[in-house]
Amino acid sequence: MTQLPDGLDVLRVFCGPDGRHGNELGVVRDGARVAARGDRQAVAAKLGFSETVFVDDPERGVIDIYTPTLRLPFAGHPCVGTSWLLDVPELVTPAGVVEARQDGEFSWIAARAEWAPPRTLRFYGSAGDVEALRVPPPGEWVYAWAWEDEAAGRVRARAFPGRDDGIDEDEATGAAALLLTHQLGRALNITQGRGSQLLTAPGPGGLIEVGGRVRLISG
C-alpha cells in the first residue's frame, strides 16, 4: 500500500475573492523522500488531486508535477501554488524556467503558451451555457468558456480533463487560462468552476502571466 510521505503540504490555488474554492494541490517539499518516478505517480494517485508536486531543489525551485495518472512538463496551478509556498523568484520545470513573483494577495507566474499541455478551448455563447454543461465522456481535454463581460475581459469557464482518472472537472486550470490568454491576446479575469478566480495578462517576449490567491490547508 502506498504511504503518503512526511512533509506534505496541501494548498488551494486560485481561490475566489472570499478565500473559498480554488484547486487543491499537494506539495512534497522534500522530493528525495519519494525519489522514484513510479513511487511519485503512486503518491499522486493516492492523493487524487488534479496535480501533485515534488520539490527536488527548494532553493533553485526545481519541481516535478504529476496528475493521478501521468507526469506533466508544466502546469499552471502547481507552479502558482509552489512558488507561493517556497517564496522563490523562479521554478525550474521540464518545460522551462517559470518566473514567479508575489504581489499583495496574488501570486503570479510567467510562462509560455507552448509549454502548456494541449487543451480544446471551446467557446459558448453565454455564461449560462457554460454553467449548464454536463461532464462530457472521457477522451478530450475541454476548456469551456464564454464572455461574462467582453469589454472588461471577464470570462466564465469550466474545465473537463477527460482522462478518466477520477477528476471529472478541474476547479481551476492555469495552463488553460494561459492558452486562452495567448489566443485572445488580452488580459483576462476568469471565474472557473464553483467560484475560483484566475487573472492573466500578456507580457513581454511572449510570456504570459497567470495569477491568483493561494491558501494553505494543511502542512
Q: Is residue 128 included in any domain, yes or no?
A: yes
83 shares its domain with 135: no
- CATH number of the domain residue 166 falls in: 3.10.310.10
67 shares its domain with 129: no
Give this prediction's pTM: 0.96
124 shares its domain with 209: yes
**Torsion angle, alpha carbons of 205, 214, 43, 33, to 10:** 80
209 shares its domain with 124: yes
27 shares its domain with 89: yes
Residue whose grid cell is 508535477: 65
Give me the number of domains the chain comprises.
Answer: 2
Listed residues 59, 94, 129: the one ending a domain: 94
Q: How many CB atoms lie within 10 A of CB 53?
A: 31
90 shares its domain with 130: no
Q: Which residue range(s) make up the domain with 125?
A: 115-213
Quick: pLDDT tens for 161-204. 998 888 999 999 999 999 999 999 999 999 999 999 999 999 99
Quick: pLDDT tens for 93-128. 999 999 999 999 999 999 999 999 999 999 999 999
Q: Is residue 219 included in any domain, yes or no?
A: no
Letter for the amino acid at 213? R
Q: Is residue 109 included in any domain, yes or no?
A: no
Quick: pLDDT tens for 38-92. 999 999 999 999 999 999 999 999 999 999 999 999 999 999 999 999 999 999 9
Q: Is residue 104 included in any domain, yes or no?
A: no
Cα of first residue to Cα of last residue in the chain, in angstroms, is: 22
Q: Output 96-101 pairs: Cβ under 8 A, ≥24 positions apart.
A: 98/74, 99/207, 100/61
Q: Is residue 218 included in any domain, yes or no?
A: no
87 shares its domain with 124: no
CA–CA separation, 77 vs 3, rounded Å?
24
119 shares its domain with 164: yes
Cβ–Cβ < 8 Å for 147, 161:
no
Q: Is residue 103 included in any domain, yes or no?
A: no
